Amino acid sequence: MTTIADCNSLILGTAQLGMAYGIANRVGQPGQREAKKIVETALNEGISHFDTAQDYGESEALLGIILNELDAAGKVKITTKLHPDINLLNEKEVIRAVESSMRKLKNPQLYCLMLHRERYLDLLEKGLNVILEKIIGDGYAKHIGISVYSPAAAFAALKALPIDIVQLPANLLDRRFEKSGVFRVAAASGKLIHIRSVFLQGLLLMEAKDVPATMSFTLPVIRRLEEIARETHLTRNALALHYVKIKYPSSNIIFGAESPAHVCENCNIWGSDVANDLMEKIENAFPAVEERILNPTLWH
């Protein structure tokens, strides 16, 4: 088992608890008993931060029930995202949605209330910023964040108030945000980065033989990744987690798990040593990757 200190920067993503999630998901949505074991294992491994969303099926409600049963409700950090269908310029509707999440999660305060789409940046100057500042001022949440897909949106978010957390995708294939300077600007502005998609929705963990025919354009990358795994005697899990751990030491890393064993495996990897030449080997292997591989919205 890793130590609590090792896992301070890990966040358990709970989309899998509320619905079948990820291209590599073979087990579907876990039952409540299995979901409880996943959350309990995470807590035992020292993970105290959970990421969910109103749009993740039953995730919020199930997470709240489980945390309450484990006597952890109100004792952990919860980040949740507002449903995309909410009128974000209607203060009463937004407050009702936030209060609904807090009831489901059985948490007296959210760690972070996050906007689920980068296009909502355009609403900040139309009055959304005032609503979000009220949410902070009235104690509903400690932080306001936004989930983005592009470096341009990340830069805009880092300049926007009251946003102080930006969630973005990054992994051993996707270095767009690093190359554009997003992490450097975030550090200079004192804002936090939450990294999602470290496994690229499970694609980085798939065997080439299991990749769907509609995703055949990813096969050269997957096969090269398999070669690196054999050369380094590491699993793909280890390659993916070691990369983001070394590359983005000041960021929080979100990972999902389909079973308690996945949680343990990822936490053990996180606490293990990394070979000195691993970063160079990975970056030399994937100097540039086309966006249709990096962006799941283009996978059809």
pLDDT digits over 229-284, tens only? Answer: 999 999 999 999 999 999 999 999 999 988 999 999 999 999 988 877 889 999 99
- pLDDT one-digit tens code per residue, 164-185: 999 999 999 999 999 999 999 9
Give the residue carrying structure tokens 């966006």.
Answer: 291
Q: Is the predicted pLDDT of residue 5 greater than 80, yes or no? A: no
CATH architecture of 5-204+248-273: Alpha-Beta Barrel (3.20)
Q: How many helices (H) and strands (E) does the chain have?
A: 13, 8
Name the more confident of 99 and 297: 99
In DSSP notation, 117-160 reads -GGGGGGGGGTHHHHHHHHHHTTSEEEEEEE-SSHHHHHHHHHS
pLDDT at residue number 28:
57
**Would you list the domain boundaries of the chain?**
5-204+248-273
Give me the pLDDT at residue 22, please: 47
Mean pLDDT of 10-33: 70
Task: Give the pLDDT confidence score for residue 74 in this predicted structure.
Answer: 92
Instruction: Judge if the upstream peptide bond of residue 30 is cis by omega within 30 degrees of 0.
Output: no
Task: Give the contacts of 110 (CB within 8 A, at least 6 positions apart).
Answer: 78, 79, 80, 98, 101, 102, 140, 141, 142
What does pTM read for this prediction? Answer: 0.92
**Single-letter amino acid, residue 85:** D
